Amino acid sequence: MLLIKNADLYDPEPKGLCDILIIGGQVAAVTSAGKTDFNGLSIAGELKTADVGGSLTMPGIIDRHVHFNGAGGEGGPVNRTPPLQLSSFIKAGVTSAVGMLGTDGTCRALEELLMKAKALEAEGLSTWILTGSYGLPSPTLTGNIRRDLCLIDKVIGLKLAVSDHRCAHPSIEELRRAVSDVRVGGILSGKAGFMCVHMGDEPTGLAPLLEAIAGTDVPITQFAPTHISRCEALVKESVSFGTRGGYLDITAAPGKNPVFGLPTAPVVAGLLAAGVPAANITLSSDGNGSMPSFNEKGEMVGLKVGPLDSVIESVAEMLEGGELPKETVISMVTANPAEQMKLPRKGRVRPGFDGDVLVLDDGFKPRFVAAKGRVMMEDGETVVKGTFE
């Protein structure tokens, strides 16, 4: 059992100064500070108390785009990024994550990804994965997309790439079949059944997605295009996509000279100002993915690794800037991804939800993390590490 006292709680809506009681891995009660009533609660075992002294408290971050086992390979085998360890997630304030393959759907296997997701879950995180990779036909675990969604609990969607020189350049008909498959798989399994679409910077942009659902009843929300902050042209195109009800995932990029694409804060502000609903916007890290640079001849001239902490750093930057309401910023990495991906008991700090709690210090850096009620970080120090750390 865990009692977090004097939390300035954003759920992500502001709740004021609260106490949060977590029992059996789930939030049992959220009360005004100092007014926790234990009557009627089934309590057994030792109660751990953490007084966070009025610090900003929010749900644990949900990172919807992570490469658990590494990614990349552009430029040859030496450029394959290595697997992630548990502490990398905790330091980044991430308590829930979705893993996927990247460019390499040939030598990297979904079976390995699934086992890594299970390992991270056993170590304390909440994890899911996407089937597929960049190309079509998609690599799968069971032989087809629908079966993966129906038979593999952790599979909640499909990964695919479009408008990128590394993608398979699928036809519109192939895209239509793929999004239909992932939709039906989601319907049959009771999952979101969404398609995470890696967006490149080819001129076709988002057009293939819109053409694929034109003349059908497939909703635009079946797609979740990511890397939409890659370039100005794609951001501008995303406004129309978002105002039509589509979801938009921004690859978090803090600072004025980000590792990837455009800085996050102005992209978010621009989308909101253009009328995109805040609930349709999410941030993810592309954590541990390779971020290669190519010259005008298509030759790779550099490669960086996506930092897992880019989400919390972008959140901190926007919170410190104060231009957007705190709840709007926080929702983009908590409630929004939880609702879009239909993750039960995630994204909020409320009775019945999982005890995933992130407390930030005065500089908006993680100082306390609980995942399913288990304390993973105290006073800014990771107290639980992975099996081989």
Rounded to a whole number of angstroms, the CA Rg of the chain reads 20
Task: Clarify whether 286 is annotated catalytic.
Answer: yes
Fold that domain 2-58+347-382 belongs to in CATH: Urease, subunit C; domain 1 (2.30.40)
Say what the pTM is.
0.95
**How many angstroms separate the Cα of 202 from the Cα of each of 20, 84, 206, 234?**
48, 30, 10, 9
Q: Residue 288 and residue 309: Cα distance in Å, rounded?
A: 10
Task: Report the distance separating Cα 224 and Cα 277, nearest Å.
Answer: 15
Which pLDDT value is given to residue 367? 98
pLDDT 10s digit of each residue in the chain, 389 long? 999 999 999 999 999 999 999 999 999 999 999 887 766 565 666 889 999 999 999 999 999 999 999 887 777 888 888 899 999 999 999 999 999 998 888 889 999 999 999 999 999 999 999 999 999 999 999 999 999 999 999 999 999 999 998 889 999 999 999 999 999 999 999 999 999 999 999 999 999 999 999 999 999 999 999 999 999 999 999 999 999 999 999 999 998 878 889 999 999 999 999 999 999 999 999 999 877 777 887 777 777 788 999 999 999 999 999 999 999 999 999 999 999 999 999 999 999 999 999 999 999 999 999 999 999 999 999 999 999 99
Q: What's the CA gap between 131 and 152, in Å, rounded? A: 10
Q: Where are the domains of the chain?
A: 2-58+347-382, 60-340
As given in the structure block, the two tokens for residue 152 are 């593999």
Fold of domain 60-340: TIM Barrel (3.20.20)
What's the DSSP call for residue 244?
A: T
* Residue indicated by tokens 């010259």: 295
- Looking at residue 300, its pLDDT comes to 73
Two domains, one topology: 2-58+347-382 and 60-340: no
DSSP class of residue 279 equals G
CA gap 238, 230 in Å, rounded? 11
Token digits of residue 17: 């100064």
C-alpha span between 210 and 220 (Å, rounded): 8
Predicted local distance difference test score (pLDDT) of residue 41: 63
Q: Residues 69, 105: contact at Cβ < 8 Å?
A: no
- For residue 14, cis peptide bond before it (omega within 30 degrees of 0): no
In whole angstroms, give the CA distance from residue 145 to residue 138: 8
Question: Residue holding tokens 């059908």?
Answer: 216
Pairing of strands 357-360, 61-66: unpaired
What's the residue count for the chain? 389
- Residue in 63, 181, 286, 356 annotated catalytic: 286
What pLDDT score was predicted for residue 39?
Answer: 64
Whole-number Å distance between alpha carbons of 276 and 279? 8
How many other C-beta atoms can be found within 10 angstroms of the C-beta atom of residue 316?
A: 20
Question: What is the rounded CA–CA span in Å between residue 267 and residue 236?
Answer: 10
